[in-house]
């Protein structure tokens, strides 16, 4: 199994638990993170080796990443597993899966790449790479079937893991927030490149909000290994702000907050499942953005908007991701309770749609492949 970043680590850990319920003696190894390790996963390489986003950033690390993929492929072909499961990370996993499938190893890809959003050409590659694709969203299997790719809708494991009613009071108490205080959760991403490009604007927005609304409280959960990058940026851009910086605990932060300022990615879906209003921001290297923008198929970037098929939350991407715009959008949510309440109802419907006992469904699908 290979998971390439914090969100993949979370998804893979839930999948491993489901697989072990079916096969208690299961052995799982490959590339993974701390949540997978907690299930007994044997990490031959840490997942943060693959946590790189954007064309320019990938090029800088290409030689190392390719070396890991080649070495892993050699190892698996020499000692074939019953099945290989690639968890997201399509740029890494699809090529590896194609090589393994050609060598007779059963391959499963967990999380359909966003062919409905951009890079639709990937569908053809998936037909040559995957014996089965496990889809998180209900509209994806039909799209893959058109390209001859076997696919199953399994729901989203986060929808199973996150309660329908978030433990708001307990989370606020754990952070020391009073009942009447307004709280903003700040989630600038889980990759080094995201901290580099996004965190300064987010922290400057936090400082601006503090000046305008001194009673606001802030919490910033930091992904594993990124604290040395985050702390200096906090000191530079948000000195003197009541900003609580914590290691991990992103779900507690989302449960506790009134609104979140959040980087585009899986975390935005987590925020939606916690029924939280949000402002989505994102920046990347200019060249990477120009290349991605040309390949986009739809106007939305954030998962909540994609799933709802409209802009239910604001997106401030690239040049629009300024401290002033971010702060204004956060303030707008804090000042419009009826709009926030309507969003909660919309997200509640989305939560029900995605809650499908994903671990069991995925384990059933993988069993069909592994035992065929």
Tell me what pLDDT residue 125 has.
82
- pLDDT band of residue 343 (cuts 50, 70, 90) is very high
Predicted TM-score of the model (pTM): 0.78
Give 186-234 pLDDT, tens digit per residue.
999 988 889 999 999 999 999 999 999 999 999 999 998 899 999 999 9
For residues 118 and 292, is the Cβ–Cβ distance under 8 A?
A: yes
Sign of CA dihedral 236, 241, 247, 251: negative
Domains of the chain plus CATH, in order, are: 2-155+356-370 (3.40.50), 168-354 (3.40.50.2000)
Tell me what pLDDT residue 162 has.
94
Packing angle, helices 192-212 and 227-237, rounded to 10: 30
Per-residue DSSP letters for 307-336?
HHTS-SS-EEEGGG--HHHHHHHHHHHHT-
d(CA 270, CA 161): 10
Tell me what pLDDT residue 290 has.
66
pLDDT greater than 60 at residue 29: yes
Tell me what pLDDT residue 115 has.
59
Tokens of 12: 């893979």
d(CA 126, CA 130): 6
Contacts for 5 with CB less than 8 Å, ≥ 6 apart: 33, 47, 48, 50, 51, 88, 89, 190, 191
- pLDDT band of residue 185 (cuts 50, 70, 90) is very high
Give 50-108 pLDDT, tens digit per residue.
866 555 555 677 788 999 999 999 999 999 999 999 998 888 999 999 999 999 999 99
Tell me what pLDDT residue 224 has.
86
pLDDT higher for 284 or 360?
360
The per-residue pLDDT of the chain, averaged, comes to 91
Kind and range of the H or E element at 282?
strand 278-282
How many C-beta neighbours within 10 Å does residue 248 have?
A: 14
What is the CB-side half-sphere exposure of residue 240 using CA atoms within 13 A? 7
Give 252-305 pLDDT, tens digit per residue.
999 999 999 999 988 999 999 999 999 999 987 777 666 666 555 567 889 999
Q: What is the mean pLDDT of residues 243-250?
A: 96
């Amino acid at each position: 199994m290979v998971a390439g970043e914090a969100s993949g680590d979370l998804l893979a850990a839930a999948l491993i638990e489901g697989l072990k319920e079916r096969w208690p003696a299961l052995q799982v190894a490959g590339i993974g993170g701390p949540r997978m390790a907690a299930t007994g996963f044997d990490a031959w390489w840490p997942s943060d080796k693959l946590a790189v986003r954007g064309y320019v950033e990938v090029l800088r690390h290409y030689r190392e990443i390719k070396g890991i993929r080649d070495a892993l492929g050699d190892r698996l072909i020499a000692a074939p597993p019953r099945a290989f499961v690639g968890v997201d990370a399509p740029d890494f996993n699809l090529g590896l899966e194609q090589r393994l499938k050609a060598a007779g190893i059963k391959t499963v890809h967990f999380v359909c790449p966003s062919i409905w959003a951009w890079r639709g050409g990937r569908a053809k590659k998936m037909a040559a790479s995957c014996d089965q694709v496990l889809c998180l969203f209900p509209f994806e299997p039909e799209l893959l079937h058109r390209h001859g790719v076997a696919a199953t809708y399994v729901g989203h494991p986060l929808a199973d893991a996150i309660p329908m009613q978030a433990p708001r009071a307990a989370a606020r108490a754990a952070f020391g927030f009073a009942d009447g205080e307004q709280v903003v959760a700040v989630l600038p991403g889980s990759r080094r490149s995201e901290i580099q490009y996004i965190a300064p604007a987010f922290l400057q927005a936090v400082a601006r909000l503090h000046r305008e609304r001194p009673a606001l409280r802030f919490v910033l959960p930091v992904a594993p290994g990124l604290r040395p990058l985050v702390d200096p940026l906090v000191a530079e851009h948000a000195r003197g702000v009541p900003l609580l910086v914590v290691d991990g605990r992103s779900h507690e932060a989302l449960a506790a907050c009134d609104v979140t300022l959040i980087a585009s990615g899986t975390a935005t879906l987590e925020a939606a499942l916690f029924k939280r209003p949000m402002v989505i921001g994102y920046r990347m290297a200019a060249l990477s953005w120009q290349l991605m923008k040309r390949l986009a198929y739809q106007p939305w970037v954030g998962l909540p908007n994609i799933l709802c098929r409209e802009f239910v939350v604001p997106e401030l991407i690239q040049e629009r991701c300024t401290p002033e715009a971010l702060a204004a959008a956060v303030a707008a949510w804090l000042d419009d309770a009826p709009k926030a309440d309507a969003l909660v109802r919309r997200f509640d419907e989305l939560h029900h749609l995605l809650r499908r006992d994903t671990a069991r469904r995925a384990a059933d699908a993988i069993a069909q492949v592994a035992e065929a």
